[in-house]
Amino acid sequence: MKLGLNIDHIAVLREARKVNDPDPIEALFIADKSGVDLITIHLREDRRHIHDDDAKAVVTLSKLPVNIECAVDESIISIVCSLKPNKATLVPEKREEVTTEGGLNLQTQYDKIKQAITRLKAEEIKTSLFIEPCENAVKMSKELGADSVELHTGKYANIYAMLNSNMSQTRYAVDSLKLPRESLEILLKEEMKKIQTAAKIATKLGLYCAAGHGLNYKNVTAICEIEEIVELNIGQSIVARSIFTGLENAVQDMRALIG
């Protein structure tokens, strides 16, 4: 299983004080010796954490392959094409959201996604689509010409947390998931089944299959058991643990879980 380390949350901490500390670039060298397989960053339209100079430095300095997450926006796609990372993952993006929520709507953005993939491939950049774990989205990703898909595990993570932690008793409780344990158990099984099925279909269609969003040290094991998923992109939980253990230990702890 490949581990992609998303270093956005290091930049989030930097932006809290608008100073160049901590510097996300320092994470590259720690990641390289800690068992990380690729570096992921999200160049958002509003540049709320990763900036253009960060993206350029990451691509230039990283010894590991770089995956840039980005919206289907012509100006952003142009920047990514100029940087030439190993991979670009197209994701949905809303200014008002705290983090990326949900997968791409492939139907409403079909033509724009197709054009973006064509431009990226012309620069020999691998393309991935961040999608909901459903059969139709996987098949459309193949039709659009993507090289890979990243299955959105956010819903799985939320259900898991509401079922297996005290999240339901905090301000972070998900209102739509304030349900009896039996109902949450059923939902969790259903969501796992969707992820398993989507991963199998992706592999059968010849798509490289990754997964990510909301994965942490408690919920990641079940996802790792899906053999068709060969890459996980994880950021917040690793960076959060690193505050107490250091980044190298935090990465190695996750590496030990995912194999």
Residues annotated as catalytic (active site), given as ranges:
42, 69, 213
Are 66 and 41 spatial neighbours (Cβ–Cβ below 8 Å)? yes
DSSP designation for 3? E
In a 3-state reduction of DSSP, which class is residue 195?
helix
Q: From CA 37, how far away is CA 3, in angstroms rounded?
A: 5
Q: Which residues contact 79 (CB under 8 A, 6 or more apart)?
A: 43, 52, 55
Give the residue carrying structure tokens 């790792």: 224
DSSP label at residue 253: H
Beta-sheet pairing, 38-42 with 208-212: unpaired
Q: How many CB atoms lie within 10 A of CB 154?
A: 18
**Structural Rg of the chain based on CA atoms:** 18
